[in-house]
Structure 1
Amino acid sequence: MLLKKTGFAALMLLISIAGHARDTTSEVNAERVSAVKTVTVVYPGKAVYITVGPSGPIHIPVPIPGVGVVGALAMGAVAGAVGVGLGKHDNDSPTSLNDLVTARFGDTGLNRRFTDSIETVLRNHGFTVQEVDASAPGLPTLKPDAHRMWQASGSPYQGSDAVLFLRVGTGYVTPGGFHGFTRRVIGDIVMFQSDSYDAILRQHVNWKQSGDPYSYSSIDALDSDLRRAIDGLDEGLMAQVDPFNKLLDSIPR
């Protein structure tokens, strides 16, 4: 299978979705988060929209700094049916939907809105916030551990007390058979302490909807309603801001 640059970046390294089998949950060290005054938010880059078909396990990729493909939902083995109506070629990849969205709408601005909203929540809870992109010097290296949890390593980050990574992706998923395509948002929001790179806050996102107006019987149906379908994914990602806000509400400042 031949992949364009975006698809290659999205599929380079994969984490099994089994590590995110539960609904949205949170882990927080309230005492250490309370001590944080300044936070650097790493902007994840342009949103990547993914369609996932019925062939093989669903995975979530490790982001590659600087590429801008972050938290995209993808598969290790992609069914040919994924590309039907979106390209109909043997070299179709899970990023075919993203290619189509980019061609029709350009950058939808989803990750910009999501990042801005997360930063607003942080400021409203008393944090001083700055933003960098993934290519900024001095940022830690992120890798999944044996339990598929993000871990950071490297020299201590000098720009703030903590670093926040947004590793959340969105797409349409079908288990195959007679099931349609439904919305899925999955990933993690993780805050690392800058001197030790201990994870002091994690919000695990595993949001899914079915049987709603954004469910599609086929990829062709999704294709013919693309603008609205993408609006549904945007709505799903933005719905993750409120749980993050409530998590910070629970932490004394």
Structure 2
Amino acid sequence: MAWTGSADAPLTARITALAPSLHPGERRVAEAIANDLSTAVERTAQEAAEAIGVGRATVVRTAQALGYEGYPQLRVAAARDLALRTTDASLLADGTILGSLRASSERFASRLGHTLSGLTEEGLQAFVGALDEAARVLVIANGLSSPLGLDLALRLNAAGRPAEHLSDALAQRIAARQLGADAVCLVVSGSGANETTLAAMTSAQASGCRVLAITSFAQSAVTDLADTALIVPAVNDTFQDELLHTSRAALMLVTEALVDALLTRRGDRGRDARASVLEVLGSSIRES
């Protein structure tokens, strides 16, 4: 599968999103590049092939799969990634817990641009439109993505877009199977491979409803099943790093922004919903 996101997307964001779908040789090339951008900038395609242990054609195919005309264009993209990164010195922790937290937050902030690099206006319009027009919305999320699903359902309800969220796996499948053609099943899955989530999506498909998904990887079982998928690349540099240091922060950031976009699309309905929420909040706050 080739890159179909924004032409301005950083190289490492493309690698993170596409690595699982690449052929083994291409995946080796992509991960080698992500692990050492500085070296990738300096190497020719032939030098990279010899160092990684693949053919030159594999290196060129990898560059093209990542959305570049060839390896020279990939080298330029690698140089751009390096130039835009926060310097290593600013990310060094000082040996304290607070210093470590500061370093982590600075690193995340330096890569926030990646969270939107796989999105297109066309995909967002289709996604938000389907969410707005559906007669019923069922939110499915499991594993590490489960808290995001609950948060998203609560935010949708507060936006005047009633949504359901069920934590039990069997209950998810039962509810999904009864959705029907005028409903939407909204899936949040960082990995795109959670078996419980996939089972619920299959049930939703059988009901005839539209399946929307928000996930981190461009090629996964979840994106294969979804009618419309938003790809939000992970904030880590490599697929391996994402497995070791799993984060759902980027996904949460995008889900919150999507609810704001839905509120804007709904116009007066959105404003009325927000006013109702503020009225409830106002009546529930008491001074000590």
TM-score by length of 1: 0.24
More helix by percentage: 2
TM-score by length of 2: 0.22
* Higher RCO structure (Cα 8 Å, ≥6 apart): 1
More strand by percentage: 1
- The structure having more radius of gyration, on CA atoms, is 2
